[in-house]
Amino acid sequence: LKVAVLRNTTEAEVLNRFGRPNREYYRESDIEAVAEVLDSTGHQTEIIEADVDLISSLERFFGPRRTAIYDQAMVFNLAYGLQGESRYTHVPAMLEMAGIPYVGSSPGAHAVCLDKYLAKMVFERAGLPTPGFQLFRAGSEKLRPELSFPLIVKPQSESTSFGIKVVRSAEQLRGAVAVIAEEFQQPALLEEFIDGLEVNCGVLGNSPPEALPPLEIDFGNATGDQAILSFEVKRDRTASHVCPARLDEKMTRRIQELAVAAFQCLECRDAARVDFRIDRAGNPYILEINSMVAIHQDGSFFCAAKTRGLSYQQMITKVFDAARARIMENI
C-alpha cells in the first residue's frame, strides 16, 4: 500500500491564524519511527504535513484524482490539528471528505474525547464511573452541593495537563477558573479530586477491542495533590511507569473492562488510552480517554504493549492492521 503518515509541525501553513494554537506535538523521531515500521513491512511510506495543502499533497503522493489507486491508499493519522477548539477532528474530516481511509478515530469520536465535559456525560449515561463534575463557564456559578473540596480544575478541552490545578476553597476555585478563561479561552471543568492510585489502560484494535495490561503511575514519595501527573511531572519525568500495574487480578480485569467500555461508548477506533484513578476504598474512576494516543517508544501505551509481549514494530503493525481490517469490512 501507499501510506501517508500525517503529522503537524510548527512550519504548517494555514490561511489565517485563528483560535487557540495547538500545543501538542509528536517529536519528529516518533513520526519517523512509525514511517520506518510501515516501510519495513513493505508499504511505500511518505511523511506529509497535514496543513492547508493537505489534499494537494495527498494527490501528489497517491496520484491524480479518480484515476488514482485509492483502494491501495492509506493514511496513518498522527496529526493533532493546528488550531481551534476541534483540532483533532480537522484531519480525519478532510480525509473523509477526500475519500482516503485512515488509521484512527473518526472526527465525531475525537470531538467528544477532546471535550472532557461531553465525554464524562457520555460515561455517566453509559453507567461508567467518573468523578463528580461541573462545568464553570462564568466562574460565578454555584458549586453543586454534592461536590466538596479538594476539587481539581482543568480546561474543558486540553491535554498534557495544561492548566490543571487542585483547589481547596471557593476563592482558589474562582482564581483557577479565571486563569483557565484567560489562558485557554475556555470553560473550566471541575472534578472531585480522587486521592489514590493512578493507572491507565491502552486499548488496541476493534472487533473486539483488546485492553492492554494496565499501567500504574508511581509518584515516588509524593502524596495527595503532589501525586498527580501535572505538566511539570510529565515534562521532567519525575513519575515512573510500572507495568503491569500492582493490582490484583479482579481489579486488573475491572480496569480493562472499563477501558474497553469507555472506548466503545465513545466509538473510538484502532488505538486509545483511558486514564483512571482508583480511590482508597478501591473504586475505579475514568478520568478521560485519549483518542490521539501517544504511541512513542517511551510512552505508556508502548510500555503496556511491551508487557503484553509486543515489540514496537508489532504494536504499530497491529494498530495499522486493525484499521485496515475495519476499513475492508466496511467497503
Ligand X SMILES: Nc1ncnc2c1ncn2[C@@H]1O[C@H](COP(=O)(O)OP(=O)(O)OP(=O)(O)O)[C@@H](O)[C@H]1O
292 lies in the binding site for ligand X (CB under 6 A) = no
User: What is the dihedral sign for C-alpha 51, 55, 57, 58?
Assistant: positive
Residue 248 to residues 244, 255, 284: CA-CA distances in angstroms?
A: 10, 11, 13
161 lies in the binding site for ligand X (CB under 6 A) = yes
Q: Candidates 277, 295, 304, 305: give the one binding ligand X (CB under 6 A).
A: 277
Binding segment for ligand X among 47-55, 159-167, 168-176, 300-308 (CB under 6 A)?
159-167
Q: How far is the CB of 108 from ligand X (least distance, A)?
A: 19
Q: Which residues of 16-48 are buried (b: 16+ CB within 10 A; e: fewer)?
A: eeeebebeeebeeebbbbbbebbeeeebebbbb
Per partner kind, with CB cut-offs from 5 to 8 A, the member of Mg ion, ligand X, none near residue 201 is none
Binding segment for ligand X among 56-64, 179-187, 253-261, 282-290 (CB under 6 A)?
282-290
Q: Candidates 12, 153, 229, 261: give the one binding ligand X (CB under 6 A).
A: 229
Angle between helices 116-125 and 107-114 (to 10 degrees): 100
Q: Candidates 54, 94, 122, 152: give the one binding ligand X (CB under 6 A).
A: 152
158 lies in the binding site for ligand X (CB under 6 A) = yes
30 lies in the binding site for ligand X (CB under 6 A) = no
- Site residues for Mg ion, 273-302, by CB under 5 A, read 275
Nearest to 235 by CA among 24, 82, 30: 24
Q: Which residues of 53-70 are buried (b: 16+ CB within 10 A; e: fewer)?
A: ebeebbeebbeeeeebeb
193 lies in the binding site for ligand X (CB under 6 A) = yes
Residue 11 to residues 26, 50, 107, 229: CA-CA distances in angstroms?
A: 14, 11, 24, 29
12 lies in the binding site for ligand X (CB under 6 A) = no
CB 302 within 8 A of CB 296: yes
| Total of residues contacting Mg ion (CB under 5 A) | 1
| Complex with Mg ion: residue 192 or 275, whichever CB lies closer | 275
Q: How far is the CB of 183 from ligand X (least distance, A)?
A: 14
Residue for cell digits 513491512? 41
- Please state whether the peptide bond connecting residue 244 to the residue before it is cis, i.e. omega within 30 degrees of 0: yes
Per partner kind, with CB cut-offs from 5 to 8 A, the member of ligand X, Mg ion, none near residue 191 is ligand X
Q: How far is the CB of 174 from ligand X (least distance, A)?
A: 19
Q: Candidates 4, 37, 128, 164: give the one binding ligand X (CB under 6 A).
A: 164
Alpha-helix residue ranges (DSSP H) falling in the chain: 28-40, 54-62, 87-98, 107-114, 116-125, 170-184, 231-236, 249-265, 300-307, 312-329
| Complex with ligand X: residue 154 or 308, whichever CB lies closer | 154
Could you list the residues that contact Mg ion (CB under 5 A)? 275
Could you list the residues that contact ligand X (CB under 6 A)? 131, 152, 154, 158-162, 164, 191-194, 198, 228-229, 275, 277, 287-288, 290
